[in-house]
Amino acid sequence: MIASGRVNTVAKALICGSILNLIGSFILIRPFGLAGVATSTVIASVVVDFIAIPLLLQKALGFKIKDFFLSACVRPVAVGVLQISIILLIRIIGRPEGWIELCLQGVLAGVSFAIILLFLGITMKERKRFFWDPIRRFWGHKIKTAVE
């Protein structure tokens, strides 16, 4: 919205989020301490970032909220859920008893994350542009891909 010249609208939304955070912090700090302040911050962020700004985008620019969330949120959430699942599976395997096992678990997690990101986290067009094209330039010849 800032790029479209609606700086005041974004500023007002952020100020309202800050006020909500401050009020929530005052209410929640006594019964919950620092956890209450953190909770208030999360609530204010969710209200501003996931409710207010999308509604303002819809109103100002004609975006549909449903289309925005489907295009911008579904893929990252799916990637996150798969990555959390892999972390939990690696944790189920057991605690590493030495440096070698720790390194192997780290390599397993890293390779798994890379595969998930490559095949689910980015589109075919992005995969071609950011993965296959640089590999082609590096090796100096054309590598056949499923995109072509």
User: In terms of pLDDT, which residue wins out, 123 or 103?
Assistant: 103
Q: Name the residue range of residue 87's domain.
A: 74-139
Residues 46 and 101 in one domain: no
User: In terms of pLDDT, which residue wins out, 90 or 19?
Assistant: 19
Residues 45 and 101 in one domain: no
What is the separation, in whole angstroms, between the first and last Cα of the chain? 36
Percent of the chain scored above 90 by pLDDT? Answer: 24
Residue 35 has pLDDT above 60, yes or no: yes
Residue 53 forms part of a structural domain: yes
- Report d(CA 36, CA 27) in Å as an integer: 8
The candidate with the shortest Cα–Cα distance to 118, out of 89, 75, 81, 85, is 75
Residues 54 and 84 in one domain: no
**Cβ atoms 55, 65 nearer than 8 A:** yes
Residues 86 and 123 in one domain: yes
CA distances from 9 to 12, 59, 114 (A): 5, 11, 38
